[in-house]
Structure 1
Amino acid sequence: MFRSRRSFLVRHLWKQRCTTTSRGQGEGAPSNPEDLHNALRPAVHQLFKKLKDEQLWQLLQAVEGRGRWDGGCILLPWEVRAGKQALPPQVLVCRLYRWPDLRTSTELKSLSQCQNFWRRSGDGTSVCCTPYHYSRLATPEAAISSGYKVREVARPVLSNTALTEQESSLCNVRGLHDTTLSRGSIRDGHWCKLAYWEHRTRVGRLYSVTEPSVHIFYDLPKASGFCLGFLGSEPRNDMVRRTRKKIGQGLVLSHQQGEVWVYNQSEHPIFINSPTLATINTRGQTVHKVLPGYSIKVFDADRAADLSEHSEVGNGPCDLHSVRISFAKGWGTCYSRQFITSCPCWLEILLSTPK
């Protein structure tokens, strides 16, 4: 009976492997994923043998749920082998169920619900092999070579006193609508506030974040956080309604040691603008397209301090402690929408400043 139950779990885990066609460096597989799976098969079965029955069941639930609920870490204290090269278990399961083109563990980042997220590098000997406890790491420096897309948004070079109304709304949109969007300070007990916008209208109240991480979502069972699906507003147009449904599992925002990270947990791209993602002396705004399953560092305190010393950035109209994220729709010269205020659904992150 126990053998039949275990065989049932192993068969179903193998059937759940990622077999979709390639969609670039995001969720999906290369053009011929079966070749990769056949090469990984010995290592995968070795991994399954090392897992206890309850861990196999836990892994099956995680894979079938695709991250919609969290069943905890599946910890292993060793490295499995794939062919002639040692392959860590987290790389193996992520290649099998999420990213067949994944190469090394350096391309992965633990998410906040994982024990590895809070563990210092090199601490302990165990590693989590829950595939949805990891994101694919995206960095602006590696954007072009990895297939992660960066778009430069050209903007006229204007002095601080010569901004048009549209330019002012792009850099300081809250000034046109609501002067109560005060970010506060870390001493106030929160490290950021969240404002949700539909086009040029803010919907709902500010959401203060005190925990190290927060989910921002439209529809996510068994989750707590900032639920955009509950926010009411005036009658919405069709574009807003369609985009809201695409938010789905949304994103995870986490704060750790002066860094802020965003994980795209939805099934659609998100578009991000943050001053600390741009190079020093960059004119205009840089908008980054982040695919499903990827994480990116959207704020770095040391980087913000360096930028504030350059008058072109620090004294300009753009706020170094403000990050803007549009769900599913991009903006800039490469899109029909030139400014984020034209995007149907977007989020403003107001980071608290130390005092």
Structure 2
Amino acid sequence: MSSILPFTPPVVKRLLGWKKSAGGSGGAGGGEQNGQEEKWCEKAVKSLVKKLKKTGRLDELEKAITTQNCNTKCVTIPSTCSEIWGLSTPNTIDQWDTTGLYSFSEQTRSLDGRLQVSHRKGLPHVIYCRLWRWPDLHSHHELKAIENCEYAFNLKKDEVCVNPYHYQRVETPVLPPVLVPRHTEILTELPPLDDYTHSIPENTNFPAGIEPQSNYIPETPPPGYISEDGETSDQQLNQSMDTGSPAELSPTTLSPVNHSLDLQPVTYSEPAFWCSIAYYELNQRVGETFHASQPSLTVDGFTDPSNSERFCLGLLSNVNRNATVEMTRRHI
């Protein structure tokens, strides 16, 4: 706890002592990143303690965390979107449309119900469940409130419960693997046109109204996807029977599907980045594409290029930047 700032209240120190750690960050800059994380957690706990002292629910929060008991009472904070913690005046729609990503010293609430601590935003129950229970928690979709929680997030009441032991973790389902052939082979083959001996000579005359039969061989579509039980669609067989005459069908076309295909499962894997963001000024692209690898992302006008959770535009320069662009950038 060396990162705790001076004059930290004892209750904040006690609550931070129960914080779950996600493990150390290796490589260069890992210590600095851990230090920033500790400071951010302290700000989040300080803001919550300050709020709960006014409502008398601080003891219940400490009881829930220290006993790790889900039978404790709800620990609620207002869910009214117009409330800002630590500011004297309420926010407006215009304010949050233009300055919602600025960094405040205290915890704030935006129009969409998320809390903002420093430069990060998140739903309140997700923030504190991640802090005291699951450091690898990504979103509210992974949480489910227990039955006796009266102010669960999904109930959308005027107050929301942030008791981390009033929520359960819902594991994200893993997509089943897709079976694909190990070797790409054409299952059916048609004999070449030269093999047909009853082709009609070009100089043959036909009575009026009678058209000669074409030697057209229906094109065989490539083999489609194969289900886990090894069955393929009958569309290929039906198409051959509908478009071709009996003389045009070869024995291999009607042969049964080989059920002993050599298949291998292909497991779904998450990509390294879940989105990419490019920054433009008017119709000119400026800077490199930002690849988001963290669950949350903040776009702002500050200068912190080493933070993987922030796309900072402050260091990007453009010799063609005009007054309109400069004015717009002031509101980012």
TM class by shorter chain equals 0.3 to 0.5
What's the TM-score, normalizing by structure 1?
0.32
Give the TM-score normalised by the residue count of structure 2: 0.34
Based on CA coordinates, which of the two structures has the bigger radius of gyration? Answer: 2
| Structure with a larger share of its residues in helix | 1
More RCO (CA 8 Å, sep 6+): 1
